[in-house]
Amino acid sequence: MIESLNNEKIKLYAKLNDKKYRYENKLFIAPGKHLVEEAIKSNLVKEILLLQGEENTYNSDVTYVTEDILKKVSDLSNAPIVLAICHMKENTNIKGNTIILDDIKDPGNLGTIIRSAVAFNYETIILSSNSVDIYNPKVVRATEGMLFNINILTGNLPSFITELKNKGYLIYGTDVINGHKPTKELKPHALIIGSEAIGMSEEIKKLTDKNLYIKMNKNCESLNAGVSASILMYTLNEDNYE
């Protein structure tokens, strides 16, 4: 049971809302029941903070805390009744179909794309160094826990793309002018999604094998980045339905 906002551990946990402290400590915050359950399944929990008076349904040790502590650590005015402090994931080399994000900046979009990537059987996500941080609490919430179910790599995109090409992956990009209709792709592939503001960078554009385009009404300039990424992943991976 911790009741003091000045407890050293609580002070450290609250700092995890700041990227610098997340990476110094290799820890991040997963707020809410569903995220805590996904964190437990993934064996990444360091400590669970549960509101005093609540029943421990988590089949795991918990530390009881006050509502003020949950507010402080979650940085949410509407505090969750439970949150987990988690170790960052140990990620492996590239495996399975892969999605590559070129400077996605909006936390909601990144979270949505991760959620859809897991839904459509992508196993690896590669983020450019200037993308929004995957452990940003808003991203973590928007993934609905699916960040625990995907292999996450961050770094220089052209190097990763070269590695993928050497492994025989088809590299898909998008192109408003010359893009093709997306259809099911049985070969191993990587799909590149450009940033919300400017799309794929010029350097990256040169590295694609095939470009796709989602045809739309002329009154609409573009789709939300999370939506277009999701439609492309769905169509490339569409399973046979019964």
Q: Which residues are at the interface with its own copies (CB under 8 A)?
A: 108, 112, 115-116, 118-121, 142, 144, 146, 149, 180-181, 214-217, 219-224, 226-227, 230-231, 234, 238-239, 241
- How many Cα atoms sit within 13 Å of 19 on the Cβ side? 9
Closer residue to its own copies (CB): 198 or 216: 216
Q: What backbone phi and psi angles, to 5 degrees, belong to 154?
A: -135, 140
Residues 6+ apart with CB under 8 A from 53: none
> Which residues sit opposite 85 in a β-bridge?
29, 47
Closer residue to its own copies (CB): 77 or 217: 217
Closer residue to its own copies (CB): 66 or 109: 109
Work out how close the CB of 180 gets to its own copies at its nearest, in angstroms, rounded to a whole number: 7
Work out how close the CB of 38 gets to its own copies at its nearest, in angstroms, rounded to a whole number: 9
Work out how close the CB of 217 gets to its own copies at its nearest, in angstroms, rounded to a whole number: 5
CB 102 within 8 A of CB 77: no
Closer residue to its own copies (CB): 201 or 235: 235
Closer residue to its own copies (CB): 16 or 86: 86
* DSSP strands (E only) in the chain: 27-31, 45-51, 63-65, 82-87, 98-101, 124-127, 151-154, 170-174, 189-193, 210-212
CB 166 within 8 A of CB 159: no
Residue 113 corresponds to which tokens in the numbers above?
A: 């794309």
Work out how close the CB of 100 gets to its own copies at its nearest, in angstroms, rounded to a whole number: 19
77-105 burial code (b ≥16 CB/10 A, e <16): eebbbbbbbbeebeeeebeebbbbbbbbe
Closer residue to its own copies (CB): 1 or 197: 197
Work out how close the CB of 158 gets to its own copies at its nearest, in angstroms, rounded to a whole number: 29
Q: Give the number of other Cβ atoms within 10 Å of residue 161's Cβ.
A: 23
Work out how close the CB of 1 gets to its own copies at its nearest, in angstroms, rounded to a whole number: 32
Closer residue to its own copies (CB): 25 or 235: 235
Residue 231 corresponds to which tokens in the numbers above?
A: 């439609």
Work out how close the CB of 209 gets to its own copies at its nearest, in angstroms, rounded to a whole number: 19
